[in-house]
Amino acid sequence: MMLDVRDLHAYYGKSHILQGVSLFVDAGEIVSILGRNGVGRSTTLKAIMGDVPPRGSVVFKGAAIAGLKPYEIAQRGVGYVPEDRAIFPTLTVEQNLILGVKAGKKATRWCMDDTYRLFPRLEERAKTPAGALSGGEQQMLTICRTLMGDPDLIMVDEPTEGLAPQMVERVAELLRSIAERRISILLVEQKLTIAMRISHRLYVMGHGRMVFEGTPADLGANDQVRHDWLEV
């Protein structure tokens, strides 16, 4: 098992956001967390990454990581793509990608050539400041920058938010390519159709806890869960 989270709690001040979240991700698996806005999906990723103080058990590759600093968790092989993308707008595309490389890493599963082969547009704009890219191009850049650090698990928060349909498909293609290299993915996604298509398993979150776990086929057959926790 790549990631095993049990009874995870997290707070913002006195607000109890995560109320006993449990989930797991296996090697090479795409696992999506679905749910309405404000139920704690992004906070789950932040708590795993150490950006929000976690209470509970977070085990990555057999070792407890709850309580470690975010950079220590990253060094152990967890990549994190936040919702705001967090590119460096005044640096070039190439410089942003280079920043993702971890010192001392020789053989990696993802390199600059992989990025440029999948996204020729980024190669065309390699010397362009990243702030001049479109939203979709910035999303591709930040995912690929994280991959340059050769993570075993990458957590991606709302990668298709605000993107044109064609770019949404490119993101889905990229996520599948990542999983094919045995890199696990924990995905927070708003678009049900994309999550159902690319995920091996799904969790549905409601009010700070998981209310459903299963395959896309399981969720497709469960009208009640979709009605109660997903439909607007």
Q: What CATH number is attached to the domain comprising 181?
A: 3.40.50.300
Q: Output the pLDDT for position 118.
A: 80
Contact present, 19 and 208 (Cβ < 8 Å): yes
According to DSSP, residue 101 is labeled P
* Total structural domains within the chain: 1
Nearest to 49 by CA among 145, 196, 121, 151: 151
CA–CA dist 98, 199 (Å, integer)? 29
CA angle 187, 191, 193 (to 5 degrees): 105
- What whole-number percentage of the chain has pLDDT above 70? 98
Residue 86 banded pLDDT, cuts 50, 70, 90:
confident
For residue 66, the enclosing domain spans 3-229
CA–CA dist 33, 157 (Å, integer)? 10
Please tell me the pTM assigned to this model: 0.93
pLDDT beyond 80 at 57:
yes
Q: Output the pLDDT for position 110.
A: 83
- What whole-number percentage of the chain has pLDDT above 90? 76
Q: Output the pLDDT for position 107.
A: 62
pLDDT beyond 70 at 106:
no
Mean pLDDT of 107-127: 86
Q: Which string of b and e fits 150-172 if b means at least 16 CB within 10 Å?
A: bbbbbbbbbbbeebeeebbebbb
**pLDDT tens per residue, range 15-28:** 999 999 999 999 99
